[in-house]
Amino acid sequence: MPSIGHRASWLIAGALGAVIPAMFMWGFTVDDALISVRYARHLVSGVGWRFDAGGPSTDGVTPLPWPLILAPLAHGEGLEVLARARGLGLAVGGMAGCALGEAMGRVRGSPAWGRAAALTTLALSVPVAAYAVSGMETSLATGLATAAALFGRRPRVAAVVAGLAAALRPELAPWACVLAIGTAIVARAGAARVLVGGVLALAPFTVCALVRTMVWGHPAPLALMAKPSDPEHGVAYAGAACVVTLVPVLVLAPLALRRAPMALALVVAACAHILALVAVGGDWMPYARLMVPVLPSLAWAAVLASEQAHPVATAARSLVALGLGVVLLARGAAEGRHVGADRAALVAAARPLLAGAHCVAALDVGWVGAATEADIVDLAGVTDPEIAALPGGHTSKRVDARLLLERGTDALLLYLPAGLPAGGAADWAEATYGRAVEARLADDVVTARHFGAATFLPLGARGAGYVLLRAAPGE
């Protein structure tokens, strides 16, 4: 039995391995985090489950329970709530790191340097650190998935906890089911208990689907309709995710996995998750977000497998993973640390300019929702069922200026990845727009007739930003 001091040292190592990288990535966030924040703020203010205070209830948050979890933190302005959500993610990540480190300290058959390499690889994984403090639900889903893996010797508990993770990230449902079945088989449970485990793992996911069906008329998240993808994109996403997240390299040990049943169960569950990512077409967010929740469980599987692996093989895998992590960091993998500050500056600059607006149209609606309480026309359809049902992906919906006018839009934001043309804001129609829906609106004569350039809102220090068009007088 390891001594208390020994276990405490591993617990502290796990905590530091989670918290220090997350603090390094503290400035990272994504626009969708502020979408959930707006829903949560409206929920606690008495408006209800709405993105627009005066609009209909819509299913604009993929992790259905997330606004309810955010609700106690949702008093105040959007960026304040986001900061609290990021703090919550950091705390959850730290606790998961503690649990994982302490568990690794108890694995006596694995060399200490091998366990340290697994923790270090996880710490070097920028996606894990970034989404711990992004303000998204990813950190909580990762914490629950980690707990489920560590509860592997108690299959029913593992099934329930894995199911809760899938309630936050629907694409985790196959992982949760396979994990529950696999851990039950490893525990030599009977067929009935194996079946019960699978049912328990899918129960929270099923409840979310039933709630969506009863309230909004469809079992799947609205984002699935708004952001259609394809398996080809999913294959590219999953393949890249297995490399940039580093940890999957540690479990490329088929012979050792055959002799380590629990590790094999965790890896098979991760493979089911990878297939799910292929099926849903991946994701548009940076840093392989959808792969993150299963990474700590793979690090745990690597440690369990290393008990049965030759030390040289363990060392080789560890060196490849660690070397890859160092290379990716050196090549700028952590550049996203400045996103949060850039977004906060954008919100501050836009707030007075949108003060008199009644309805704002934009593709990136998260930061816009933090800058104004006006109604928002979501050009991506993530929070708008009507636009979500239009042909095209979330950056290419067939939205025209007439639809905006029908909605009473008096402000329009268009993103310019390369900034304004030489003529400045007056030549906004001649600018280069990187996303199809914005390019189409800029080229629409109805847009030019009813809207005029108001100003340019810079985003970051590389020239990108948004053109703000306001409705012409009398519109």
pLDDT at position 424 is 80
pLDDT at position 393 is 84
- Distant-in-sequence, close-in-space partners of 14: CB < 8 Å, separation ≥ 6: 97, 98, 99, 100, 101, 102, 104, 119
Sketch the domain layout of the chain as residue ranges. 4-336, 354-471
At 50 the three-state DSSP class reads strand
List, in sequence order, every residue forming a beta bridge with 119; answer none if it has no partner: none
Contact 421, 430 (CB under 8 A): yes
pLDDT at position 421 is 85
pLDDT at position 473 is 64
Closest to 59 measured CA to CA, from 33, 36, 93, 75? 36
pLDDT at position 284 is 86
C-alpha span between 10 and 78 (Å, rounded): 37
The whole-number mean pLDDT for each consecutive block of 10 residues of the chain, a chain of 475 residues, reads: 77 96 95 96 95 93 95 96 97 97 92 95 97 97 98 94 97 97 93 93 96 94 83 92 97 95 97 95 91 98 96 96 94 88 95 93 95 95 92 88 92 92 82 91 90 88 91 67
pLDDT at position 169 is 96
pLDDT at position 422 is 77
pTM over 0.75: yes
pLDDT at position 332 is 83
